[in-house]
Amino acid sequence: MDNSRTPTSVKLFDLTGKTACVTGASSGLGRHVASFLARNGVTVIGIARRKEQLSEWQASVPNKTYALTADLSDKAILADIASQVIETVGNPDILINAAGINTRQTGDDVTPEAWAVTLDLNLTAPFFLAQSFVPGMKEKKWGRIVNFASLQTYRAFPGGIAYGATKAGIAQVTRAMAEDWSRYGITANAIAPGFFNTELTAAVFADTELSESNAAQTCIGRNGELSDLDGPIQFLCSNASSYVTGQVLAVDGGFTAK
């Protein structure tokens, strides 16, 4: 894009030439966001545990993309993964922390193992990946960190005690990231999606009555479509949001407004 001939309003949202690291890129919201960024001029390195699905994502996007297979719930490898990202695409301008797990265990059934893997993937990995990329963002005096929160950041759902705890934590770690790093030109925000039909929520959408009930709970009257994420992601990853940091944006059709 020739920025010299582009209206200022468009320049604000332009992502051309940026680099992004997107976790959870093999499926669901992470895959959609990784594809959206790649189709909008961003060089994207996607990280996920499942090699085959990640390769399928990479093949589906004609733009410059890279794939890195890793289990981010293993906190011992996070520093090495960050180094591999930097070696491949340079220090990313944008970090999207979309990888997550929901074991859907009730309070009586939560095991130490399930609690630990939920905490490590949903909360530990986002922070330490960000910490690894912040020095490079500081050098550029520009960076965007977008974490994925949830409806369970605000509300308790059945079988969601471990997941909800981590998503409430994401809201606070996002604010703390902003407090620490935004003076260097790095914004940190989070998106809290409502109900989107993905692999993670397949059980919810398989129950027609429950799915319709969730849609009725929104102000708009429907569940989310993947394209509903495009505008918020472009906003939070671009110069348009340069004075927005430490915020959690609910992309939920007004579910939490009622």
Please report whether residue 205 resides in a domain: no
Q: What is the mean pLDDT of the chain?
A: 95
Please report whether residue 212 resides in a domain: no
pLDDT tens across 38-47, in order?
Answer: 999 999 999 9
Distance CA 182, CA 143 (A): 9
Which domain range does residue 20 map to?
14-196+229-253
Name residue 16's amino acid: T
Distance CA 30, CA 20 (A): 12
Please report whether residue 86 resides in a domain: yes
CATH number of residue 167's parent domain: 3.40.50.720
| 5 has pLDDT over 70 | no
At 7 the pLDDT is 62
Please report whether residue 8 resides in a domain: no
pLDDT tens across 180-232, in order?
Answer: 999 999 999 999 999 999 988 888 899 999 999 999 999 999 999 999 999 99
Please report whether residue 50 resides in a domain: yes
Distance CA 18, CA 203 (A): 36
Region 226-241 average pLDDT: 98
- Count Cβ atoms within 10 A of the Cβ of residue 117 and give its class: 0-12 exposed, 13-18 middle, 19 or more buried: middle
Please report whether residue 201 resides in a domain: no
Please report whether residue 208 resides in a domain: no
Predicted TM-score (pTM) of the model is 0.94
Give me the number of domains the chain comprises: 1
At 205 the pLDDT is 93
Region 23-49 average pLDDT: 97
- Count Cβ atoms within 10 A of the Cβ of residue 126 and give its class: 0-12 exposed, 13-18 middle, 19 or more buried: buried
Which tokens is 88 given?
A: 């491949």
Residue 6 — pLDDT band, cuts 50, 70, 90? low
Is the distance from CB of 46 to CB of 97 less than 8 angstroms? no
Active site residues: 163
